[in-house]
Chain A
């Protein structure tokens, strides 16, 4: 799984720069140049390999352009002048051949890395894998742990060194889910399920965000991704179970109303929950599939039932369902 490359050793130099830039950040890690897991580390390694190989084609431009501008400047009468020279078969072979060879090398790297880092593929880890379902809303993320019966808003905790499988959708417009220090992004789209796997080597705090423009306050749609030891994770689950509120039609309708984490925390949260976070302990078992299925069952979803729409006003019927 781990992606090893020929330029690993050379690759250390740019990190000094990267590390300096990132040193100013808080303890929350937010870049794949400062990776917290194997996927982001392999992405960084791949990036550097691409840069190194491409340099073969680019450095001649940086070196030769100034040299030629100087050597063949108009006033330099000692330089040769061949106004009618316009082709050289040998040069032609080099000009086409070298970029072609580089692209051929890069193609094999691309092929291998794209398969190796396919976000749909589980990652090898020593711990028990965890499944999480993610629903994007305006402008917050809902994380459902279907096997544990809990859910959270804007807090994504998981055990270290375990493959975390995410099923992602949105109940509003399109969004894009990313935890940069762990893995890449994948779009969240209404009526569709996308998948992403990530793994953290060690406990840590990582920035997670929506990077797809999805409305006025999308830049506030951030969350904490928390990698924990197994014991800490189990304790966290227990804490959510005991301190959470119920995720039912009423609270879900509240989540569907445009707001950011801090606001939804004020509405639904309790003092036991961290700032900007909501915990749920009773979760409808098939909420995720219902959210997707609502768009694909061939019935219209009028704006009053469409989270994020102008005029969203869910009618809570006696059945208690707005789905």
Chain B
């Protein structure tokens, strides 16, 4: 099949019928109203955002401080904002699907078209535009601070990575307003997503979303890895790095090696769809099994890419809130590396049912099960970290507790699924849906949300509201439990995933329980917005300008909150693992350096934003076959990119005197403040200066 070239040269196949708002008038139904409402939300949301920025006169600071910034901290925050916006959409989509299925006995209110788009966008968004930007955001912010670096190795490339990720997210949002996103699931298996079966723009949206954000993520991985190899402060040997940095290294390696197969698979699918190739078609030698292999060659390392940094966050928070060194540092490092390597050896377990021989299935089944060993070791290590500690049940520890309980259940079902004989039964059922949500929500999401709570005061200079934080954590923990435990049961009962409706009334009660759980999760996300609002309003009361609210152990706590743009007034000399804890114990902390020097930081640039706008236009042009715009946007990006190489922007200089003044002012504030004990940690008294905690120094029981 060749391309349908019936559109106009100016607009390609983009026409009035591409607007999803029209069907709501022509054919009013709940399903159409939901689609039209979502489209309106995107449009109104964009207008309101622009209006608010204009109202507050924020265009100039937005441009200067954020959009053109190469500061890793600001880029990290922008990733987080993107992730939280997309999280809101993804969670709402999930809730709509749960509602549909709860009323799905013989029907429900959604058409199969809309339901299938929902599960496709929900999956695509949650993986690529929630989990990945949350990770990229937290890592961007924290990694250089923990390493004792001033920025990433490639600040401009960092901005371009953000731009490309945003492009992907923007294309998914645009698909709400112009035509529709793919309905071929997030894995987009051909031949269903091929031109014969799906000639519309949907799969093309998927392809370009994946290609652009995939390239961005590969670049991010390179940036993280090089930063770890090259930017560590003097004395920061690899084996003195915080475990979080080790997990970032593993994730970076996976980003570099696992994302390209996905990008290539999507481009091959594009070649099939645009240029009459036959990589994955039914006829002329095409073979969809190759797509399935390439997709999961990315897909399985991907889940470890997501969960490994979450392990890193838990390694930091469990040690900090147990007031103890992390148990088994070296073991943790080897276990994490083992997981990263094994993650490339197991992809076939996503299709044990494709008809290969028993011996092939056994090899991949055993490899999959082997991952349980290092993962189990990590869980035991965290428990040993709590052993003989002084545990404070703050928000990150609540998440960690939920994680321990729920994640091992996910591990149990993972071991089940590693067995081909069991997979033959539960594959493609709701059991599978329950399993991967069971590792991604308690693992990845809890980890990253606890990291958000833990590091927020570092980034903004005030703590998040503790009470709301606890409520959010509990909403997520119980919301997850009620939503997904019933899905395990439904999977055992044989209900296929992605079913818009069902006929067996036995499924009904479990569906209601799951709907209740979804309501709790939506409440959790709503509470996150309230918490942010309350915390900003009470930021004076919650302020921790001295920078160490949790009695932290690693370098990022050894500076003011928020940190200066150049992070460290003087690049620190690292003496020990958990260097800041060691510095506080030995009296090295908060000392004035002998001399200050001028600091050079990279200049602002708009190239990342330019690439973002260019690729969004390119994506829309490709989706709708607007060939002149395709060529124009490509040419413009090349010109901008090459043009940049002709001028070297002068770095920004922070004079030594300015650095010294700021640093001395902070040191003076530290000396003037009273250190607080851990009992007052979540109290207004906490200004970010911690009293040392040692067995002989402990205050008596109260």
Contact = CB atoms under 8 A, between A and B. Distances in A.
B23 interface: no
A54 B504 contact: no
A148 interface: no
Contact of A214 (B192, B380, B387): B192
Contacts of B427: 176, 184-185, 211
A24 B505 contact: yes
B351 interface: yes
A71 B322 CA distance: 12
Nearest to A188: B355
B425 A117 contact: no
Interface in A207-254: 207, 209-219, 222
Contact of B428 (A32, A176, A192): A176
A265 interface: no
Interface in B92-117: 112-113, 116
Interface string B66-101: 000000000000000000000000000000000000
B189 A81 contact: no
A95 B381 contact: yes
Contacts of B362: 110-111, 114-115
A107 B369 contact: yes
B197 interface: yes
B386 interface: yes
Given A114-B420, A185-B427, A216-B113, A58 B325 contact: no
Contact of A216 (B116, B379, B503): B116
A60 B387 CA distance: 13
B494 A180 contact: yes
B283 A74 contact: no
B354 interface: yes
A216 B112 contact: yes
B381 A310 contact: no
A79 interface: yes
Interface stretch (A42-50, A127-135, A266-274): A42-50
Contacts of B387: 68, 72
Interface stretch (A155-163, A282-290, A293-301, A313-321): A293-301
Interface residues of B, number: 104
Contacts of B698: 77, 81
Interface string B460-497: 00000000000000000000000000000100111011
Contacts of A147: none
A50 B422 contact: yes
A199 interface: no
A143 to B, nearest CB: 19
A42 to B, nearest CB: 7
Contacts of A43: 421-422, 424-425
Interface string B360-380: 011001100110110011011
Nearest to B360: A114
Contacts of A96: 331, 373, 377
With a 10 A CB-CB cut-off, give which of B283, B287, B329, B422 has the most chain A CB atoms.
Answer: B283
B18 interface: no
Contacts of A69: 386, 391, 393, 397, 401
Contact of A58 (B411, B419, B694): B411
Contacts of B226: none
Interface residues of A, number: 106
B665 interface: no
Contact of B494 (A73, A98, A207, A303): A207
A24 B506 contact: yes
Interface string B559-574: 0000000000000000
Given A96-B373, A183-B424, A107 B695 contact: no
Contacts of A32: 425, 492, 494
Nearest to B581: A83
B625 to A, nearest CB: 16
Contacts of B679: 74-75
Contacts of A65: 383, 386, 401, 404-405
Interface string A82-101: 11111110011001101110
A85 to B, nearest CB: 6
Contacts of A311: 1
A182 to B, nearest CB: 10
A28 B502 CA distance: 14
A110 B386 contact: no
Given A83-B324, A212-B428, A18 B331 contact: no
Contacts of B401: 65, 69
B85 to A, nearest CB: 28
A72 B197 contact: no
B684 interface: no
Contacts of B404: 61, 65
Interface in B664-688: 678-679
A9 to B, nearest CB: 20
A213 B116 contact: yes
A81 B391 CA distance: 10
Interface string A154-197: 00000000000000000011101010100111110111101100
Nearest to B380: A95
A132 to B, nearest CB: 17
Contacts of B412: 51, 54-55, 58
A179 to B, nearest CB: 10
Given A82-B324, A99-B377, A30 B504 contact: yes
Interface string B214-251: 00000000000000000000000000000000000000
B421 A113 contact: yes
A38 interface: no
Given A99-B376, A211-B427, A46 B197 contact: no
B161 interface: no
Contacts of B379: 61
A72 B322 contact: yes
A211 B424 CA distance: 11
Given A30-B493, A85-B388, A86-B327, A180 B289 contact: no
Nearest to A194: B355
A210 to B, nearest CB: 8
A306 interface: yes
A249 to B, nearest CB: 19
B415 interface: yes
Contact of A110 (B365, B384, B391, B505): B365
A96 B418 CA distance: 20
Given A68-B383, A114-B361, A195 B355 contact: yes
B555 interface: no
Contacts of B541: none
B82 to A, nearest CB: 28
B429 A81 contact: no
A201 interface: no
A119 interface: yes
A7 to B, nearest CB: 14
Contacts of B351: 187
Given A103-B369, A114-B362, A299-B283, A184 B424 contact: yes
A92 B416 CA distance: 26
A308 interface: yes
A99 B415 CA distance: 12
B651 interface: no
A306 B282 contact: yes
Nearest to A70: B391
Given A50-B419, A69-B393, A295 B701 contact: no
B639 interface: no
A183 B422 CA distance: 10
A153 interface: no
Given A73-B390, A87-B329, A306-B282, 4 more contacts: A47-B422, A74-B392, A114-B419, A306-B283
29 contacts: A25-B493, A25-B506, A33-B492, A40-B425, A54-B412, A61-B383, A68-B386, A74-B392, A77-B700, A83-B325, A86-B329, A98-B376, A107-B366, A111-B366, A113-B419, A114-B419, A114-B421, A119-B424, A173-B192, A173-B197, A174-B192, A185-B353, A185-B424, A186-B424, A191-B283, A219-B501, A300-B284, A308-B197, A310-B199
